[in-house]
Structure 1
Amino acid sequence: MPSTYKKTKIPLLWLRRHTSDREFMLVSSVLVGLTAGVAAVILKSLVHYIQVLLAYGNRLLDQPYWLVVFPFIGILLTVLIVKVFFKGSIGRGTANVLFNISQKSSLVERHKMFSHVLTSGITSGFGGSAGLESPIVVTGSAIGSNYGREYHLNYRDRTLLLAAGAAAGIAAVFNAPIAGVLFAIEVLLTDISISAFIPLIIAAVVGALSSKIILEEDILFNISKTEFFAAEHVPFYVLLGILCGIISVYYTRMALWVEELFEEYQTSALKRAVVGGALLGLLIMLFPPLFGEGYNGIRLLERGDAPLLLQDSWLAFFGTNEWLILGFVGALALVKVFATTITIAAGGNGGNFAPSMFVGASAGYFFSRIINMLHISNLPTSSFSMVGMAGIMSGVMHAPLTAVFLIAEITGGYTLMIPLMIVAASSFALVKYFEPYSLDTKKLAQKGQLLTHNKDRTILRILKIQHLIETEFQPILPEATLGELVEVITHSRRNLFPVVTADGRLDGVILLENVRGIMFKTEKYSQVKVKELMIKPPALVDYDDSMAEVMKKFDESGAWNLPVLREGIYLGFVSKSSIFTKYRKLLIKTTNVS
């Protein structure tokens, strides 16, 4: 271990021993927030300076064909780095963090403290059509998790620091500490007490300050122009919320569909990268604003400079007709999901945070402009573009509070708070009806690996039959006599006895209460056989049954113990009481700080 690391660690070990748990957590939240904030600064700066380097000299990015070539190169470089340095997999997205929380006791691999900064920086820096926010969430989570592991914190404290790291990362990227805290609560921690807010707030504030102090203004994403809210526009905001909900459902389903298409290339990372890079290049050739995260396009829409989106596009040949521009913006809202999902599925590293904002801004602009062009009303396109971002974020990520406060913070005020709440709530309500889970959590939920949502059901899915089989039940052969059964009963502490054949198959069971009346009649010890006394078990549990199926069998049979078989062979019993005991232990272990 390097000496500098030891020098850093020794004071914290002293602090750990000489302070209360709460005090140590407060100090830890500062350090985790600072580290995650610096990581976000490094990531944003890496992307910025890669693009500056690529555009140096002859202004390569001003040549349209480079917009096609660079993203392809970025995906290939990312795939090669992951394959050579990280054994072919680094675990992408918020879903991976949720998996670590529910299935790995909030332990995140150490390499994720830097691997996502490097790979997502290259992917996005070279123009990959994906956001940096999911990678910084993974990075911040890894920083918090490994800090907790290093200082031997328990599961609950380690999970809280994991969330604090993620909050700091989001806060640093957007200079939005409130949104960072709400993201951690809405997405990562769904059962959290008030006392846990303090470490999250501290980490988010420190992360935001890190980026504000270090980063240049043009690297941070913020909006300075906002327009006032007019009450007469409320019906239009409701309609925009419904439109955002519909687009969010479309976004989620199309993203999952594209991912499924790329699953056939899972065995060949290089082939996946080539196919995906080529498809992404084709999309960018048709729609140049798909190049990169999309924040530049958002700024153009917010400033009312939508005609500039056609720059480098073949559609520019047809001039700047308003309907042509409107159609182009509407198309961008629909095709961005393909560009983003292809970037990620092909092997690039990124997320759907920034792309959902881009889609939302496009949808808001499209809606307001078409209302204005049809002379139905005179809507402020800038405000509708900003509010549309909250609508799509709320629908795709299932995080309406994060969406509302993020847009409020990056616009530098709360003048749009009412329309933000209207659109985010309308979109979320509609999406929730069609898609109970967000894009990031849907697959985890289908596998029963989403502990932070529907915890009761998930804990049951975590429980496995093989960990609950009790084998201390004394088996007896069906041909054995009553006397032999009494001998077995004498040396057993259980009141249930499986009747098992010589080849290990279960014939029946004997309950002590059913033989109590005959077991003291010694004259029948040699006359009565066990097979005459056994009964059929009320239900049989298969070794591969899910815990939900097992509990259903317990409920229907009314039994407290059921035999477990594997391909007909008797293994032991599972008891309802042992399931409840294990369930309570898991529930206590996975409950966040109180």
Structure 2
Amino acid sequence: MSYSYKKTKIPLLWLRRHTSDREFMLISSVLIGLTAGLAAVVLKTMVHYIHVLLAYGNRLLDQPYWLVVFPMIGILLTVLVVRLFFKRGIGRGTANILYSISQKSSMVERHKMYSHVVTSAITAGFGGSAGLESPIVVTGSAIGSNYGREYHLNYRDRTLLLASGAAAGIAAVFNAPIAGVLFAIEVLITDISISAFIPLIISAVVGALCSKIILQEDVLFYIGQREIFAAEHVPFYVLLGILCGMMSVYYTRMVLLIEEHFEAYEAKVYPRALVGGMLLGLLIMLFPPLFGEGYDSILLLESENAAQLLQDSWLAFFGTNEWLILGFVGALALVKVFATTITIASGGNGGNFAPSMFVGACSGFFFARIVNLLNISNLPTSSFAMVGMAGILSGVMHAPLTAVFLIAEITGGYTLMIPLMVVAASSYAMVKYFEPYSLDTKKLAQKGQLLTPNKDRTILHIMKISHLIETEFQPIAPDATLGELVQLIACSRRNLFPVVTADKKLAGVLLLENVREIMFKTEKYNVVKVAELMIKPPAIVQYDDSMASVMKKFDESGAWNLPVLRGETYLGFVSKSSIFTKYRKLLIKTTNVA
């Protein structure tokens, strides 16, 4: 531990001893909000100036083909950095944090406090078509988690500080503290008490203030609202919500499909990065707005300057008529998911937050413009572009409140609150029917590793078989005699005996009640073998079974103890009593985060 680190830690240790738990949590939320906010500022600044230097800015490299080459370089550099400095990998996306909450007691690796800032800055700065929000969520969560671990906070408080770091990161990136708080509640910790809101709010406000004070306006994403809401447009907003729901389902399924193809080449790190970079470059050559996060393109759609999206595109050769622009924007909404997933799956670092907003803006613009071109109505395209962002964000992330208030905050007003709520709710309702889980949680849910608002399921997810195996059961060999079994019974305090072969495989089990009559017949001590007395266990628990699966086996078998195997190797038994004892302890530990 360095001298400077010790000097920083000593005052906090003094505070830990001389303040109440609540006071220490409030002070901690300020420090975590400040640190996560500064991390977001560093990340946004790095990406902004790399982007300005390489592609736009003063046009130092004013050749369109650089827009194709740079993203590939960024992905390769990201892979190189990860391989050289983070050999175990860095784990990408919000799903990684959800896994840490459910499976690692909210313990996040220390390197994630900085590894995601570095790698995502390289990826996005060089034009990778992914967002910075997921990396900053991971970074803020890691800051909160490691702070809690350093000061020996319990699981409940550590989880709250983890969420506070994530809230501060989102708040700083968008200068949107309400959205930061709602994101933490909707996505990370659904089981929360009212008192937990205070640390979340403090961290989010401090994070937002960091970006507000330090960053220039052109680095932050801000949209000046120009249109007001008209009640007669509500039916069209409902239709937009349905369209956003369909696009969200498309987005989610395409991401998972593309990732599946890339996972087949997971061991071939550099070839995968090279191929992915080349594919991304080809997409950007056809659709230059795919370069980078895409916020510049969103601003063009919102300001109704969509014709500028064709700049540097080969389609500019055909002019800029309305139908060509409409088709180009519609194509962007469809291909953005390919660009983003290729960026991440091939080795780059980023998330789907900003791409979801990009697709939403394109979808809203496309919908409003086609209605106008067909003379069905006269819709404000900028408003529909903004509201579309909330629709896709709500559908992909399964976070409608975050989507509504984020767009409201970055537009600087709440006059579009009704259409935002209509579109976000419509999209979410439709997506929920086809996709019960969000993009970030679907794989975790399939593996049984996802926490839910259901308290019983949450605790079962946290519990591990490896912590519950009892090994004091006396094993006996199948060829042992009844006499040897009686001797074993005499020195054992359990009424259950595993029958284990020489190579440690479970052959069966013996229950004392099943051999009580014969055990007193001494004439059979050397005649009857254990193999004749043993029975098949009512169920088998595998070492890697989920606790939900284990409890189902207990319910179906009616047994009180079940053997645990790793493959075919006997390890011990797990009992209902040990599970219930552990359950009670975890219930006290995890009830009401705060």
Query: TM tier, shorter chain?
Result: over 0.9
Tell me which amino acid in the other structure corresponds to 1:539. Answer: P
Q: Residues 485 and 530 of structure 1 are in contact (CA less than 8 Å); yes or no, is this contact kept in structure 2?
A: no
Equivalences for 1:117-266 in 2 at 5 Å? 117-266=117-266
- Other structure's SS at 1:574 match: strand
1:18-56 deviation digits (Å, cap 9, x = unpaired): 100110110111111011111111111111212232257
Partner of 2:360: 360
**Cα distance in 2, alignment partners of residues 2 and 125 from structure 1:** 32
- Other structure's SS at 2:124 match: helix
Partner of 1:82: 82
1:203-233 deviation digits (Å, cap 9, x = unpaired): 0001111111111111111111232212221
Tell me which amino acid in the other structure corresponds to 1:82. Answer: V
1:98 Cα shift? 1.4
Partner of 1:473: 473
Q: Residues 199 and 522 (structure 1 numbering): CA distance in 2 closer, same or farther, change over 3 Å?
A: same
Q: Which runs of 5+ in 1 are unaligned?
A: none
Equivalences for 1:217-366 in 2 at 5 Å? 217-366=217-366
Partner of 2:545: 546
Tell me which amino acid in the other structure corresponds to 1:541. Answer: I
Tell me which amino acid in the other structure corresponds to 1:183. Answer: F
Q: Residues 393 and 577 (structure 1 numbering): CA distance in 2 closer, same or farther, change over 3 Å?
A: same
1:89 Cα shift? 2.0
Q: Residues 480 and 92 (structure 1 numbering): CA distance in 2 closer, same or farther, change over 3 Å?
A: closer
**Cα distance in 1, alignment partners of residues 365 and 491 from structure 2:** 80
Q: Residues 31 and 452 (structure 1 numbering): CA distance in 2 closer, same or farther, change over 3 Å?
A: farther
Tell me which amino acid in the other structure corresponds to 2:535. Answer: K
**Cα distance in 2, alignment partners of residues 505 and 50 from structure 1:** 60
1:299 Cα shift? 0.7
Q: Residues 467 and 298 (structure 1 numbering): CA distance in 2 closer, same or farther, change over 3 Å?
A: same
Q: Residues 160 and 196 of structure 2 are in contact (CA less than 8 Å); yes or no, is this contact kept in structure 1?
A: yes
Partner of 2:401: 401
Q: Residues 97 and 552 (structure 1 numbering): CA distance in 2 closer, same or farther, change over 3 Å?
A: closer
Q: Residues 62 and 570 (structure 1 numbering): CA distance in 2 closer, same or farther, change over 3 Å?
A: closer
- Other structure's SS at 2:573 match: strand
Q: Residues 541 and 562 of structure 2 are in contact (CA less than 8 Å); yes or no, is this contact kept in structure 1?
A: no
Tell me which amino acid in the other structure corresponds to 2:162. Answer: L
Q: Residues 531 and 424 (structure 1 numbering): CA distance in 2 closer, same or farther, change over 3 Å?
A: same
Q: Residues 540 and 565 of structure 1 are in contact (CA less than 8 Å); yes or no, is this contact kept in structure 2?
A: no
Q: Residues 480 and 452 (structure 1 numbering): CA distance in 2 closer, same or farther, change over 3 Å?
A: closer
Q: Which runs of 5+ in 2 are unaligned?
A: none
**Cα distance in 2, alignment partners of residues 57 and 419 from structure 1:** 36
1:479 Cα shift? 6.7
Q: Residues 159 and 304 (structure 1 numbering): CA distance in 2 closer, same or farther, change over 3 Å?
A: same
1:512-549 deviation digits (Å, cap 9, x = unpaired): 44555666x67767588465983634514153572444
Tell me which amino acid in the other structure corresponds to 2:241. Answer: G
Farther-moved stretch of structure 1 (147-156 vs 201-210): 147-156
**Cα distance in 2, alignment partners of residues 196 and 455 from structure 1:** 17
1:243 Cα shift? 0.5
Q: Residues 41 and 422 (structure 1 numbering): CA distance in 2 closer, same or farther, change over 3 Å?
A: same
Q: Residues 43 and 117 of structure 1 are in contact (CA less than 8 Å); yes or no, is this contact kept in structure 2?
A: yes
1:164-199 deviation digits (Å, cap 9, x = unpaired): 111011101111000000001111111111111100
1:62 Cα shift? 4.6
1:353 Cα shift? 0.7
Partner of 2:449: 449
**Cα distance in 2, alignment partners of residues 462 and 20 from structure 1:** 28
What's the TM-score, normalizing by structure 2?
Answer: 0.93
**Cα distance in 1, alignment partners of residues 386 and 191 from structure 2:** 30
- Other structure's SS at 2:378 match: coil
Q: Residues 416 and 515 (structure 1 numbering): CA distance in 2 closer, same or farther, change over 3 Å?
A: same
Q: Residues 255 and 337 of structure 2 are in contact (CA less than 8 Å); yes or no, is this contact kept in structure 1?
A: yes
Q: Residues 141 and 166 of structure 1 are in contact (CA less than 8 Å); yes or no, is this contact kept in structure 2?
A: yes
1:473 Cα shift? 2.7
1:561-586 deviation digits (Å, cap 9, x = unpaired): 23445666655433222233334444
**Cα distance in 2, alignment partners of residues 6 and 499 from structure 1:** 55
1:302-347 deviation digits (Å, cap 9, x = unpaired): 1111111111111111111111111111001000111111111222
Tell me which amino acid in the other structure corresponds to 1:440. Answer: D
**Cα distance in 1, alignment partners of residues 525 and 57 from structure 2:** 102
RMSD: 2.6
**Cα distance in 1, alignment partners of residues 305 and 499 from structure 2:** 81
Farther-moved stretch of structure 1 (476-485 vs 533-542): 476-485
1:235 Cα shift? 1.2
What's the TM-score, normalizing by structure 1?
Answer: 0.93
Partner of 2:577: 577
Q: Residues 529 and 146 (structure 1 numbering): CA distance in 2 closer, same or farther, change over 3 Å?
A: same
Q: Residues 375 and 5 (structure 1 numbering): CA distance in 2 closer, same or farther, change over 3 Å?
A: same
**Cα distance in 2, alignment partners of residues 122 and 505 from structure 1:** 52
**Cα distance in 1, alignment partners of residues 589 and 196 from structure 2:** 16
**Cα distance in 1, alignment partners of residues 502 and 62 from structure 2:** 81
Q: Residues 145 and 158 of structure 2 are in contact (CA less than 8 Å); yes or no, is this contact kept in structure 1?
A: yes
Q: Residues 499 and 534 of structure 1 are in contact (CA less than 8 Å); yes or no, is this contact kept in structure 2?
A: no
- Other structure's SS at 2:264 match: helix
Q: Residues 448 and 458 of structure 1 are in contact (CA less than 8 Å); yes or no, is this contact kept in structure 2?
A: no
1:447 Cα shift? 2.0
- Other structure's SS at 1:349 match: coil
Q: Residues 55 and 67 of structure 2 are in contact (CA less than 8 Å); yes or no, is this contact kept in structure 1?
A: no
Q: Residues 570 and 269 (structure 1 numbering): CA distance in 2 closer, same or farther, change over 3 Å?
A: closer
Farther-moved stretch of structure 1 (179-188 vs 50-59): 50-59
Aligned length: 593
